[in-house]
Structure 1
Amino acid sequence: MQNPPQTTDELYAALGENDRLPYGRTRTVTAEELAEAAELFGEPVPLIHALLELQEAYTYGSEPRKSPVVFARLLNLFDEQPDVFDARLRHQLFWRFKWVANALRSLPEIPLASLRQWMTEMRDRYEKAGLDLQPYYGQAYQLAAHVGEDMDLAYELWAGRTRSVLSDCEACETCERALYHLTAGDDERALRVWEPVLAGKESCQEEPARSVSYALLPLLRTGRADEARHLHLAGYRGSRRNPSMAGEIGRHLEFCALTGNEARGLELLAENRNLFDEVDSPLALLDLLTGVEVLLARVEGLGHGELPAAGFPGRSWTVASLRAEVRDRADDLAARFDARNGTTAHGDRRRARLDRAPLLESLELTLRPRTLDDVAPAPAPAAPQPAEALPESPADLIRRARELDEQGHPDAHACWARLRELTAAGGYVHPDDPDVGPLVRLRADLLEEEATLADRKDRHAEAAALYEEAAGLYEDAGLAGHAVFARASAVLAEAQVVPPEADGEAADGEGARPEGAAAEGARPEGADAEARAAAQADVLAGAHAELVRLHEGASGLAPFLQARLLRLRVSARGLRLQASGDKEHVAPVLAEAELLYDVATRHGLTGQIAAARLLRATTHAMSGDLPTARAEADGLVALLRTDGPAWHLPRALSLLGKIQLGLGEAEAAHASLSESMRLAAEWPAEGVDAPNVHGELAQACLHLGRPDEALRHLTRAAELDLRAGDRFDAFCAWSNAAQLSLDLGRIEDCIALLDSLLVEPDVVNGELDDRLVAQLRLTRARALHAGEDLKAATAEFVSLAAESAGWDDDPGSHAMIAAETAVLLGEAGEFEQAREAVDRALAAHARDPRFEMLSNALRELARLQAHQQGPDGLEGARAFLDDAGRVADAARAAGYEAHGRPLDSALAYEHGRVNAYGGAYEEALAALEKAIGLIGEPGEDAGRAAEWAECVRLAAVVEGVYLERRAAALGRVGAAVERLAALGHGEAAEPLTELAERLRDEE
């Protein structure tokens, strides 16, 4: 709090503002400051309000030691000046006797006699005030359950009584009744009692999150794993990082440990590391630590005790060391509670939790399932495994490597890897064999292999340097042809150091990139992009010229080297076509490919024959000639099936599948791509771009109406990219998966996935592309909105809108985000803030128009304000519609056509609806008649007919109900029904028929 309130009005305003903050230290500190400020006014009522806010902050901020102290002050004020407590304040006072009882139970240093004394105080106070004692008996039962004695009697005394105005809410009492049956071992009965809370029919500050955390294991034990999974995602989100929900977090960690989700448990533990420092309730801390220990014990038992773990502040922890610390602290807390209570209840409950065996070997909780091996330090990549055993002697191994290398056989990589191990080890003796050649040649071979692997991973600068070094060694060995090829490879690698904007060789122009404005902002289009593409095309043209020079200047080349040089030339031409997108470059690529094909055919180089045909098919696909590309790919696949080489077949099938997908042949594409993935497993060293193929399979599945399968392919693509170290591509695939899950209505899945991604270290540290991160956050905000978490969604949108205001290269994305933010603020009734946000959207829209999106947002804001505020909001709503009118005018002038409803007719309809909400019925009717005219005759299109019918219906409501011209309204409706029936739009006519019956009934 920067400035203390100077008046009681300012104090009340500050209390209201603080009440909107989440529970935690910020809210608590401010409440303390406001309580101090309230004392200075010397008035009891403001002080009472401030103390109530302070006690609430302590209670829900997990500071039970302080809550009773504040309540004692309130009770003294009530005893001294009972008349200043109006009915609401009096209700609040007596309600909070229960808060104090809860606080005292959670502190083991409070003697049991003091707890019972407080219960007596509560009963006496309630009786003196003439209040029903059901709340007292509820607290008496909770004390019995806490101590572990006389539970059945206490339960009957409470549960058999009728609820009163001071009883805990329905959701909380439901939870207590269910826990009673759960303690008795009756899972089924407990779940039946819990049903209305778990279904979301009853809720409060802590519910259903509290009930969900307790119900997870009973659900598993009764075979309802899918329901447990769903509730875990929703319940955890309602509890995370909240000190007052520490016990709930502990139970979610336990759930992860008992369902094969130990890696997710460690992730959630890290996300809630603040609880180790912020939970001041010993009882809640015991509950949390026991759940943490269940998780850590499971991880350690699986052999991962050395994994890092998030724990108490002040030092770094491993799973094993944190488990030991947690065990000691939790054992001490349990012993202190049992000593206070004179029972063994807490120690017994703790041991029961720790002794539980896993309930399921594996339960896929999120779209990002990970194992402990996934979070362990990555081992060194395994050497490629050849199909046949490698020769033992170095001489035979060298000869075999070179033979396979000339063929382009993928097993050559395993030979080179073994030779690298041998030469790197001490004591290597090079064979004295003229066929093998000198050691300098082997070193050149190994450098060239290393360069090839770097090039394939797009480490082009590194590859170019290695190729140049290899060329020098080949020259030293007297192998001029090999030196020329190595130097040519360096030229092409160097030309790709600044990669072209387009990536991949997708025939349909689609890739695994996130969709949406923020993603577009990460790869801005326009003049800059065109200039970069042109510059890259020029670099590649120069590289091609240099390749030709090197090729023509070489003599006596072996056929396989000549073919390889031609392949480099084709690649340079193809990359230039890809960079420029200019179809004039298609013919030169095909001409070079034809040269390669002729040389390969003449010398029987089957691998290069396949490569030439693959390059031809790819070129036709990039040029947009998909039928020719498909014919070429079909022929290549047939050739490879009969004559080989087999290791080219996965890549050919992958290309064929992409082309088929581009032609709309989704079933065939799915078959080709699936076979490609299956065969690629047989040739791992020469495999396809597996993440890209999974992305294409996802597209095929969406076309085939199999979204769940599409989702699996997207998540698989992301996992493979992540394992390969391609984090940007991985996050793009995850982004697409998150959006698809949101489209499928799997809201909690979407949010859980994004929550997991957004806490990754490179995201938190700002190392990942900022626009991609913004896309992830935008999807999460939309998912929160779809999940009706309006407060969280609005906060995220407001934050994104502030950040995107600085995207000078992408004002259109800012316009979209600011407009969506304005709509959410409107839903929350914050129309002044909504006005500010939409003004920023309009300013950005002026630089980079988003006609339809902005028009939709403005119309929705107008509807929201008129609907919420009625006549009082009419002026503001009309201002939004005026802005929408200017957007529609600009769109018309620009020749823009909306993808959805035409902007003019939609605007006229909204004028009608807004004026109707605001009580301006004549204006409403005029606007709706204008909308009907703009839509025109309904015609045969069902969508247009439905829009027309809705305008007619609303016009008839305004005319017949509000303006009381029922005859005219009935005539309007009757004519419309006849017209729609004649056109075969019976469904669109149904609401009109129902309205006609209503109007007749009211006559």
Structure 2
Amino acid sequence: MSHHEPHLWAALEAAEKLADNDIQQARLEDLVDAADAGGFPRLAFAARHALANAYSVGRQWDRAFPLFARCLAEHDARGHELGPDDEAALHSWYCWIITSMAEFPAIGLPRIYAALDDVERRFRTAGRDLREVYATRRSVAHRAADWDQEQEYFERWTAAGGPDPTDMWDFALQVSRLTARGDDAAAYALAAPVLAGDRTFDEPPVPVHIDMLLPLARMGLHAEARRSFRLARRGIDRDVYRYEYSGKLIEFCALTGNLDAGLERVSMMMWGFPTLNRPTGKMDFAAAVAVLMRQMVEAGRGDEPVGWAKQGEDEYVDAVQMLGRMRGTALDLAARFDERDATTAHTDRVRARLAAGPVAPVRVSAASLPFTYGIPADLPPEEVLSRAERHLDRGRRTAARDHLRALGQPPAHLAARRAHLLARLDGGPDEGSALYEAAGQYQDDEDWVRMALCLCDAAVWMADNGRLDDAVPVVTGMRDMLRKLPEPAAVARAEFAYANVMTGLDSDEVDRALARAAEDAAESSDPYVVALVAGHRVHRAQKRQAPLDEVVALAEAMRDAALDADWPAQAVRAFSCLEAAHAEAGTGAAYRREVDERTAGFDSGTTAAVRVGFGYAQARGLIGEGRAAEAVLALEEWIAAERSSGVPAMHWHWLAQGYLAAGRLDDAVDAAEARADLLDELRDHDRLEDPSAADANRALLVDCHRRLRDFAGALEQLEILSRNAHKRDDAPLQEYVRDQVEQVRREMASR
């Protein structure tokens, strides 16, 4: 690295703008070394300060301490080399370091109080006012649970100038003190203008929204609580905040009936939890997760899989186990703080949080989406494995893997099935060999049907990887062998595999194989196999432009079987085929009447899947007729049914349109944001049936944000649209963006 000071200052400025924290740390470490080697004390101070901040963002708070100590020692040894601004920055950094020291129970209070006395002496010697020192003393007293001192120094801070009216964090401090004392009414009276957007700061008031969540719920202000949750969630995802803030979102979800939204936040944050070395943050976040897990257990969902820090590397973890881990972590850290501070306040506070009951039901999401299937602890291994196979057949890969993790090492007679499922689930270049190994295990167990189907899977894999000459004899042999056994469902699967292998070799033979597979599937009465085969036959019929009545008949069979088989993704494909076929035939209105009549004839014996599936078909028609608001309930129910296998991006867009038409702007934002990035990606790769939907979804968000007076949100969406417009050289979209930005700016100026 160059040792020319101007170049190093420029490199420091560039490094501080880097988004990747690991790269930023490495660059700053090099800059510290270069500044020391070049003998540039002011640069070394600035680089160490920036590196300390980067370490903190990277959850390595303790690494800031030696950097500060080096800067302080060098200042005391040769302070004349630093200017007044550098000295002031050092003093402020000292206050920040002391506040951080209080967050580590291993650092004793005598050492912290000595540092407080030292920094106060330095402020006095420099002739600076003590407002910042009092704020630091108040923070330390708060961390040490010394409430008398906390009040005393809060009053001194106030007398010394108190909160800066332009500083969001000073305002957030006042709100958090009131909420921590349980004074919801006073906190709301103070925070209300900020919550409504009538009072603004230079940065988003995310901490204010988060601290007010439970008070708003307790006060019955559910609409305001939901809006604050939405703004807080968006804000916290845009920037770096302490783990405690995500913990408060999780705790709010736990106590307001939003367990799945809480689980989503847990899954987003657990990746960094093991490397979070700031004990207060770890304690508070662990307590929040434990609160959620307790509510999961009390809701009868204690056996549900929960994402753990190591993801797939860790053993299966359910909500009961996660509760034990997080509760233990929180109480252990609380005990360490209590020992340091000679109090029981920390443990008392954690225990009170863990024992808290639900506050009030507050709906925070556009649709309630459980992310996993429960797995009862006493479920026999064979049933766990059967469920895993069923989930994978229907495309629910996460649920399949959760069940395999719960299964662990099964009894010997299930080992071959587990190996077969793992081969299909893991895929990749080793799938073929893994399938052959599983087939060998089946052969050892003399399970001939499963062995043959496993080799059919291997043949399809070979065909997909350019080994048709190897695949054809394998799949043919296995199909012929299965035909000698009274297993029509297995024969249908084998014929289906044969048809897939023959694709591209003999089109007529593919159709004949699928026809035979359909006969065997019908004989089996297995709706999954019927839907599987019918789906491919519909595709083939469309490809050869078969008569529309043939396409409709096949799609109807596919639809009904998919609904009976609890296979939403295949049902959606069937509904889409039917809608397109009737549109082409000019019988769209008749088709919609038929759907309405069939729906009207449902009774108490109609399965939920069939009822919800036809509700989805009705919703499609309503949207086409410009009656999107009437489609909301049906779309919500269908999206909930799709949750485990993945909700198509367009379904969220349709739901957002329905919410907007119904005037439910917050819901519209939630739904439109759910898959906005995926819609853009699909458009970029020409995989979106209606390419305009991606931009329309962003425009819908702009409209909603403007109506909600969330101008930052509107500008964020417009910036994305602007990038997309320039990438595609889309002049009309560029003009739309310019017009909207101008209008938003005017609306902001008129506030």
Give the 3 Å change call, closer, same or farther, for CA 144–620 of structure 1 in structure 2. Answer: closer
- Tell me which residue corresponds to 1:225: 222
- Tell me which residue corresponds to 2:652: 734
Q: Provide the C-alpha distance between the structure 2 equivalents of 1:145 and 1:738, rounded to a whole number of angstroms.
A: 44
- Tell me which residue corresponds to 2:338: 338
The reply on whether 1:857 has 2:744 as its aligned counterpart is no
- Tell me which residue corresponds to 1:820: 722
Provide the alpha-carbon RMSD of the alignment: 5.0
Gaps of 5+ in 2: 377-383, 391-483, 501-510, 557-577, 746-751
- Tell me which residue corresponds to 2:639: 718
Shift of 1:857: 1.8
SS in 2 for 1:36: helix
Q: 2:601 aligns with which of 673, 679, 682?
A: 679
Contact 2:715 2:741 in 1 (8 A): no
Q: Aligned AA for 2:538?
A: P
Q: Aligned AA for 2:728?
A: A
Q: Provide the C-alpha distance between the structure 2 equivalents of 1:689 and 1:444, rounded to a whole number of angstroms.
A: 37
Q: Aligned AA for 2:723?
A: T
Give the 3 Å change call, closer, same or farther, for CA 366–16 of structure 1 in structure 2. Answer: same
Which string of whole-angstrom CA distances, capped at 9 and with x for unpartnered residues, describes residues 631-650 of structure 1?
Answer: xx5xxxxxxxxxxxxxxxxx
- Tell me which residue corresponds to 1:697: 619
Contact 1:461 1:493 in 2 (8 A): no
Shift of 1:690: 4.3
Shift of 1:734: 2.3
Q: 2:89 aligns with which of 92, 99, 107?
A: 92
Give the 3 Å change call, closer, same or farther, for CA 11–469 of structure 1 in structure 2. Answer: same
The reply on whether 1:126 has 2:123 as its aligned counterpart is yes
Q: Aligned AA for 2:550?
A: A
Give the 3 Å change call, closer, same or farther, for CA 687–86 of structure 1 in structure 2. Answer: closer
Residue identity over aligned pairs, in percent, reads 21
SS in 2 for 1:497: helix
Q: How does 1:127-206 map to 2 (within 5 A)?
A: 127-149=124-146, 150=148, 151-163=150-162, 170-200=167-197, 201-203=199-201
Contact 1:64 1:281 in 2 (8 A): yes
- Tell me which residue corresponds to 2:275: 278
SS in 2 for 1:191: helix
Q: Provide the C-alpha distance between the structure 1 equivalents of 2:169 and 2:340, rounded to a whole number of angstroms.
A: 26
Q: How does 1:853-1002 map to 2 (within 5 A)?
A: 853-857=730-734
Shift of 1:492: 13
Shift of 1:329: 1.9
Q: Aligned AA for 1:320?
A: V
SS in 1 for 2:333: helix
Which string of whole-angstrom CA distances, capped at 9 and with x for unpartnered residues, describes residues 552-605 of structure 1?
Answer: xxxxxxxxxxxxxxxxxx932867999xxxxxxxxxxxxxxxxxxxxxxxxxxx
Q: Provide the C-alpha distance between the structure 2 equivalents of 1:491 and 1:62, rounded to a whole number of angstroms.
A: 53
Q: How does 1:815-854 map to 2 (within 5 A)?
A: 820-821=722-723, 838=726, 841-842=728-729, 853-854=730-731
Q: Provide the C-alpha distance between the structure 1 equivalents of 2:580 and 2:212, rounded to a whole number of angstroms.
A: 58
Structure with greater contact order relative to length (CA < 8 Å, sep ≥ 6): 2
Q: Provide the C-alpha distance between the structure 1 equivalents of 2:516 and 2:373, rounded to a whole number of angstroms.
A: 33
Contact 1:137 1:157 in 2 (8 A): yes
Q: Provide the C-alpha distance between the structure 2 equivalents of 1:318 and 1:782, rounded to a whole number of angstroms.
A: 40
Give the 3 Å change call, closer, same or farther, for CA 754–156 of structure 1 in structure 2. Answer: same
Q: Provide the C-alpha distance between the structure 2 equivalents of 1:127 and 1:619, rounded to a whole number of angstroms.
A: 79
Q: Provide the C-alpha distance between the structure 1 equivalents of 2:714 and 2:87, rounded to a whole number of angstroms.
A: 32
Give the 3 Å change call, closer, same or farther, for CA 449–14 of structure 1 in structure 2. Answer: closer
- Tell me which residue corresponds to 2:453: none
Q: 1:499 aligns with which of 528, 531, 538?
A: 538
- Tell me which residue corresponds to 2:321: 321
Q: How does 1:130-529 map to 2 (within 5 A)?
A: 130-149=127-146, 150=148, 151-163=150-162, 170-200=167-197, 201-203=199-201, 208-240=205-237, 244-313=241-310, 315-316=314-315, 317-360=317-360, 362-371=361-370, 464-469=515-520, 497=536, 499-500=538-539
Shift of 1:135: 1.6
Q: Aligned AA for 2:348?
A: D
Shift of 1:241: 9.7
Q: 2:48 aligns with which of 47, 51, 57?
A: 51
Contact 1:147 1:341 in 2 (8 A): yes
Larger radius of gyration: 1
SS in 2 for 1:680: coil
**Range 119-128 or range 678-687, more displaced:** 678-687
Contact 1:698 1:711 in 2 (8 A): no
The reply on whether 1:572 has 2:527 as its aligned counterpart is no
Give the 3 Å change call, closer, same or farther, for CA 356–770 of structure 1 in structure 2. Answer: farther
Q: Aligned AA for 1:572?
A: E
Shift of 1:255: 1.0
Q: Provide the C-alpha distance between the structure 2 equivalents of 1:69 and 1:168, rounded to a whole number of angstroms.
A: 34
Which string of whole-angstrom CA distances, capped at 9 and with x for unpartnered residues, describes residues 504-523 of structure 1?
Answer: xxxxxxxxxxxxxxxxxxxx
Contact 1:265 1:295 in 2 (8 A): yes
Give the 3 Å change call, closer, same or farther, for CA 240–352 of structure 1 in structure 2. Answer: farther
Shift of 1:278: 3.0
SS in 1 for 2:242: helix
TM-score (norm 2): 0.65
Q: Provide the C-alpha distance between the structure 2 equivalents of 1:292 and 1:576, rounded to a whole number of angstroms.
A: 49
Shift of 1:109: 0.8
Contact 2:209 2:229 in 1 (8 A): yes
Q: Aligned AA for 2:157?
A: W
Which string of whole-angstrom CA distances, capped at 9 and with x for unpartnered residues, describes residues 860-906 of structure 1?
Answer: 679999xx9xxxxxxxxxxxxxxxxxxxxxxxxxxxxxxxxxxxxxx
Q: Provide the C-alpha distance between the structure 1 equivalents of 2:489 and 2:263, rounded to a whole number of angstroms.
A: 43
Shift of 1:25: 3.8
- Tell me which residue corresponds to 1:536: 544
Contact 2:283 2:334 in 1 (8 A): yes
Give the 3 Å change call, closer, same or farther, for CA 48–212 of structure 1 in structure 2. Answer: same
Contact 1:492 1:572 in 2 (8 A): no
Contact 1:170 1:202 in 2 (8 A): no
TM-score (norm 1): 0.50
Give the 3 Å change call, closer, same or farther, for CA 125–681 of structure 1 in structure 2. Answer: farther
Q: Aligned AA for 2:536?
A: V
Q: Provide the C-alpha distance between the structure 1 equivalents of 2:228 and 2:165, rounded to a whole number of angstroms.
A: 23
Contact 1:447 1:467 in 2 (8 A): no
Shift of 1:323: 1.9
**How many residues of Structure 1 are paired with residues of Structure 2 in the alignment?**
584
Give the 3 Å change call, closer, same or farther, for CA 239–784 of structure 1 in structure 2. Answer: farther
Give the 3 Å change call, closer, same or farther, for CA 498–49 of structure 1 in structure 2. Answer: farther
SS in 2 for 1:94: helix
Contact 2:632 2:655 in 1 (8 A): yes
Contact 1:23 1:57 in 2 (8 A): no
Contact 1:257 1:294 in 2 (8 A): yes
Which string of whole-angstrom CA distances, capped at 9 and with x for unpartnered residues, describes residues 474-502 of structure 1?
Answer: xxxxxxxxxxxx9xxx999989635359x
Contact 2:179 2:211 in 1 (8 A): no
Q: Aligned AA for 1:571?
A: D
Shift of 1:231: 1.5
Shift of 1:789: 5.4
Shift of 1:42: 1.7
Shift of 1:215: 1.4
Give the 3 Å change call, closer, same or farther, for CA 211–470 of structure 1 in structure 2. Answer: closer
The reply on whether 1:655 has 2:654 as its aligned counterpart is no
Contact 1:241 1:274 in 2 (8 A): no
Shift of 1:36: 2.1
Contact 1:24 1:243 in 2 (8 A): no
Shift of 1:696: 3.8
Q: Provide the C-alpha distance between the structure 2 equivalents of 1:318 and 1:687, rounded to a whole number of angstroms.
A: 27
SS in 2 for 1:300: helix
Contact 2:41 2:82 in 1 (8 A): no
Q: Provide the C-alpha distance between the structure 1 equivalents of 2:40 and 2:128, rounded to a whole number of angstroms.
A: 28
Give the 3 Å change call, closer, same or farther, for CA 198–122 of structure 1 in structure 2. Answer: farther
Q: Provide the C-alpha distance between the structure 2 equivalents of 1:175 and 1:132, rounded to a whole number of angstroms.
A: 22
Q: Provide the C-alpha distance between the structure 2 equivalents of 1:37 and 1:261, rounded to a whole number of angstroms.
A: 51
Shift of 1:64: 2.6
